[in-house]
Structure formats: C-alpha cells, structure tokens
Structure 1
C-alpha cells in the first residue's frame, strides 16, 4: 500500500506543539480552559463514525446528523498514526485527510464533505496532563449560517472541552466500575 502521508507531514504536525503556524490570516477567536481557538475566516450534531473496507481500500466513514434546517454531512477519509521520539520527547501524531477516490456511495439527502484534513500532535505536559495541538479544516459545503458557526466555536467547543476534561478526570473511576 502506498504511503498516505510523508515523514515531512508528520514532522510539520509535531512542530506545531512548540510553534503553532498562525501566519496567513489566522485570528484568535476564543480562549477557554487554557485552550486557544484560532480561525481562518471564510476559508453539531450526532456523529456516526466507523472504519470500513471499500473495495480493498481502508477508510473511515463519518456522518454528522444536524438538526433541521441544516443538511446532514458525511466524510470519507484516511488516517495514519505514528509514535515519534524527537530529541527524547515521545510525541504521538495522527494525520487524516479526505479520500474522494475511495469508492463509497454518496447517500441521498447527505452532503459529502470532499475537502477535509486534520493533524493532531500530543505529548505529556511533564505533569499529569497532555499537551495537544490540533489543526482541523473542512469545507462543509452548502449553507451554514454564520451565527451557528460562531455559536459552535464560542459555546459548543468550550462546552465540549469541559466535558472532555471531566471525562478524562473520571476515566480511572469509570474503568474501575467496569
């Protein structure tokens, strides 16, 4: 199988942990719980995600179900993870990108997102936490009102981060109950 991502792709992703590349019009949109959200202007719902073999090609199918009046969207993408050691630092990097050539039939009433990419780099913060850099882009197509995008970034994402932090803090207790 051909490589999905190059060594340079992974190197570029982990370097963001130390120096996020914010030139080119990125603006600080909001900050909460020590997390900064930047956006490049003009460039929520239930999620269904699974890995599937499409005619011998492994890819992930992800559907996001939005409330009316928005149309549902789906993604078909490939991803790869590498565990790196950089100057003695253990760094995990996950890269993903849309895969429009993957033979996955589009569903009626669902908009296919054909331009998606994401990089995540993680390492310990030296204490009991994790330092994470996430770069996410998708062109959702169709019409999404600006007010909804602003709400998601200013309220939805901070709420998600609060829930995520709570879940991580309670993970040990959760595992003990199983």
Structure 2
C-alpha cells in the first residue's frame, strides 16, 4: 500500500537532481561497474566510512509501470529475493512502515531495516518519471531483535522512466550504514556484486511477474 506525504516535494526534486548526472555533480564518484546494461558508481561517505552508490540500468523488456509495480510489491519480493528473511508492512501512527530483515552469510549477523517509502510521478525537464524514495524510520512498535543488527541509517531513491521504446531506464541512489563489524571481503563483494545482482534479479522478476497482463 502506498501513502503520500511522508516525503516533501523538495526531497523528490533533490533525488532527481542527485541522479540526473552519473558522476559529474562535482563529487568524487568513482566508476565501479561498466556494462552494456548497467553502470555503477561509488563514493566514500566520510561520516559513516561506507560507500554511497549510484546505479544506472537499462531494462529493454520491462515498462516503467511494471518495474515500479514489481519494486513496490513486497509479497512478490519474498519470492524472488533470496536474501529476504522477513518482510512485511504495517500501519503505525498513520504511516505505512516496512520491516525488512536481510540474510547475511555466516558468521556475520543478519541486518534489519525499518523504513518508510513514497512514490510520485514528476515532470522532470519535460519527461514524466516515476520517483520512489525510502528512508529509515524509528518506532518503538518494531523493537530490535536479539542477534540481528538494526540498520538505522538507510536511504534509497529511484527514478524510473521510459527508454523511448518498450523498456525503461532506472537510476538508483543507495546509502546504507550496516553497523557492527563486517569483514572487508564482504564489503567488497557487496560493492562489486550486490547491486548488479539486485538489478539482474529484479529484471527477471519483472519477466515472471504473476500480475503481468
């Protein structure tokens, strides 16, 4: 279920501006992955010590509306995302709040997220785009679990638009401070493989979407 009002118009516009240029916004973005269908950039966040990511994908067989619907469908994500341990949505204080526990490989503890999200259609320089924002949300109604580390600093934004044909272009910003102690090999794996794998998995999920007409 999607609710309006959790994010301001300024936040939507800022997300669009942040993703308009892959790595030419005056910041030290480094190219991480380059391929025909996906380009990913990273930049060290000095406050957290972890990287921020920008990803740009071209999905030739997935319309913007289908991509947005699959991304927002939490029940379906439980089927195609192998890293989901638990995922649900509930209303708290008038907001639709999402709980998401992510599987991490042994011996690293699982992480969980409590966040809100919102989607809106925006006219961006004459192009109609779908913008989806998500950010951490704190509430005592979803307490931390023993043995699971709560991620309290999470932000993601997506801009989805037509590629001029039958598919769509997706721009994504991702910031995540996973907390705790994570070995360097796992951080490197997430950087090199996590985001590309997610983009590939959601592309397959779009093709197999049961509500697809």
Both proteins in one fold, TM over 0.5: yes
Segments of 4+ moved more than 6 angstroms: none
Query: Structure 2 matches for 1:40-55, cutoff 5 A?
Result: 40-41=43-44, 42-43=49-50, 46-47=83-84, 48-54=86-92
Query: Is the Cα contact below 8 Å between 1:91 and 1:121 reproduced in 2?
Result: yes
TM normalised by structure 1 equals 0.82
Counting matched residue pairs gives: 175
1:111 and 1:45 map into 2 onto residues whose CA distance is 19
Q: CA deviation at 1:12?
A: 1.7
Please tell me the root mean square deviation across aligned C-alpha atoms, in Å: 2.8
State which drifts further: 38-47 or 117-126: 38-47
Query: Is the Cα contact below 8 Å between 1:65 and 1:73 reproduced in 2?
Result: yes
Query: Is the Cα contact below 8 Å between 1:122 and 1:130 reproduced in 2?
Result: yes
Q: Determine which structure has greater relative contact order: mean sequence separation of CA pairs < 8 Å that are 6+ residues apart, divided by chain length.
A: 2
2:97 and 2:120 map into 1 onto residues whose CA distance is 17
Query: Structure 2 matches for 1:104-143, cutoff 5 A?
Result: 104-143=142-181
Distance 1:171-1:65 versus aligned 2 partners, 3 A rule: closer
Match of 1:162 in 2: 200
**Unpaired segments ≥5 residues, structure 1:** none
**Unpaired segments ≥5 residues, structure 2:** 51-80
Q: CA deviation at 1:57?
A: 4.0
